[in-house]
Amino acid sequence: MNSSKFKQYNFNAIAIRDYYPSKEQPTNSLWVYEQVKGLQKYGINSLVVSPSPYIPKILRNTKRFYKYPYINRNIENYKDTYVIRYPYIKLPSKYFLKYNTLMVNHILKKYISKFKPLIIHAHFGRNGVAAVKDCKNKNIPLVTFFYGDDVGVAEYANKLKKYYLNLMRWGDLFIALSIDMRKDLINMGFPPEKTIVHHLGVDLSLFNPRKRDKENEQIIFLCAGRFHKYKGAQDCIKAFAIVAEKYNNIQLRLIGDGPYIDNLKMLCNELNINDKIIFINNFKMDNPRKVVLDEMNNADVFLFTPFESEIGMKTGTPVVLMEAQAMQLPCIATDHAGIPEVLNFGRSGILVRQRDIEQIANKMEELINNKEKRINLGLSGREYIEKEFNLDRQIYKLSEIYHNLISKK
């Protein structure tokens, strides 16, 4: 490694997150960016090591790969954070998880040797696995964040447990996003005394909700996110189709993209509701973040209905659900994984059973007919997010955790 080109930098921490936000995908893992940026205020200056799959030019602009970040062996300034997107040949993790982890470790150790960080924070369990051996050998505290799809129950948990054995033994701290997730980690074998709950947060200054007491001629339901099968947007569509048979003044808008998007469009066609459904791919727009905020401000009800996969994979505590509440949107969401915690266990939003289309439809109809309840849920949601998921507060708490670990080492 050419050391001279890094002389201008002074990092005391390394963050590991593949798919760190980029020009191509500015909304991806935005919470990691906000942590890295926010921690600077408390003396934690991180280099983000973001191993990036090498995408040949011939594939770059295809539907599947257009959102992938460009590789960069040099340190770049991304919105006042510093990231290096070192290339590697990534194989499907379903079959080659250990190989991908070895590649990330090979990349990471270059920067551990160069910058000698006081702490490493790995985002997602697989990056904790990639870092643990070098952290142990060099006596560097390692914090590993788990987010949902890297935690599991049933068949998936058994597979991950073998993979996580060294991390369980040598990692310094394991952060779960919810009570439910912490329980799953402990059941997998993570030591309870080193496994804590720490909530993500949202920057409340970005969320300026409109007044929702005006009479709306049309009730707009909104879904937003990455569209995968287990995110459950298909259940929102099926429930909406039931309600649309009774009400003409409703619309469903879906913002985002993902591998399941064509399935969702086919479903709308089969249910004959295309005239009441709007798909918006904000990833192909100049400011995808603003598109989401504008749509939230114009909507009346937010829907989010993920469910547990057949092998036990779960989601975490969805930031998009925090954002919807911050925008005073009443929310209907499934009682899945950490979602009840984000909705204050049903006190700041409506919880429904996973995959229960009839119940989702009933709650949608209830909010169509009860404007007062929509307003009150929106106000309760904003108040709860201000208290429990305030980004400034959560960053400060995290900085205290980091400094305590550093001082102990």
Beta bridge partners of 123: 145
The residues near 88 (Cβ < 8 Å, ≥ 6 apart) are: 51, 52, 53, 54, 103, 104, 106, 107
The mean per-residue pLDDT over the stretch 71-79 comes to 94
Residue 97 pLDDT class (50, 70, 90 cuts): confident
Q: What are phi and psi of 286, to 5 degrees?
A: -60, -40
Residue 335 pLDDT class (50, 70, 90 cuts): very high
The mean per-residue pLDDT over the stretch 201-212 comes to 89
pLDDT of residue 215: 66
Strands 87-88 and 52-53: parallel
Q: How far is CA 103 from the centre of its chain?
A: 23
Residue 319 pLDDT class (50, 70, 90 cuts): very high
Q: What are phi and psi of 93, to 5 degrees?
A: -65, -25
Residue 26 has pLDDT above 60, yes or no: yes
Q: What are phi and psi of 280, to 5 degrees?
A: -130, 115
pLDDT of residue 252: 98
Residues of the chain with pLDDT > 90, as a percent, come to 78
The mean per-residue pLDDT over the stretch 396-403 comes to 98
Query: What pLDDT, in 10s, does the model give residues 52-61?
Result: 988 888 877 7
pLDDT of residue 372: 95
Residue 363 has pLDDT above 70, yes or no: yes
Residue 1 has pLDDT above 70, yes or no: no
Q: What are phi and psi of 89, to 5 degrees?
A: -85, 110
* Helices vs. strands in the chain: H and E counts, helices first: 15, 16
One DSSP character per residue, 122-163 reads: EESHHHHHHHHHHHHHHT--EEEE--STTSB-HHHHHHHHHH
The mean per-residue pLDDT over the stretch 171-188 comes to 95
Query: What pLDDT, in 10s, does the model give residues 322-333?
Result: 999 999 999 999
Residue 356 has pLDDT above 60, yes or no: yes
Residue 171 has pLDDT above 70, yes or no: yes
The mean per-residue pLDDT over the stretch 372-382 comes to 96
Q: What is the DSSP letter of 274?
A: G
Amino acid of residue 206: L
Q: How far is CA 152 from the centre of its chain?
A: 16
More confident residue, 216 or 243: 243
Residues of the chain with pLDDT > 70, as a percent, come to 96
Residue 8 has pLDDT above 90, yes or no: no
The mean per-residue pLDDT over the stretch 360-380 comes to 97
Residue 33 pLDDT class (50, 70, 90 cuts): very high
One DSSP character per residue, 195-225 reads: EEE----B-GGG--PPP--SPPSSEEEEEEE
pLDDT of residue 35: 97
Query: What pLDDT, in 10s, does the model give residues 123-159?
Result: 999 999 999 999 999 999 999 999 988 887 766 677 7
pLDDT of residue 216: 64
Residue 77 has pLDDT above 90, yes or no: yes
pLDDT of residue 88: 92
SS3 186: helix
Question: pLDDT averaged over the chain?
Answer: 92
pLDDT of residue 93: 80
pLDDT of residue 284: 85
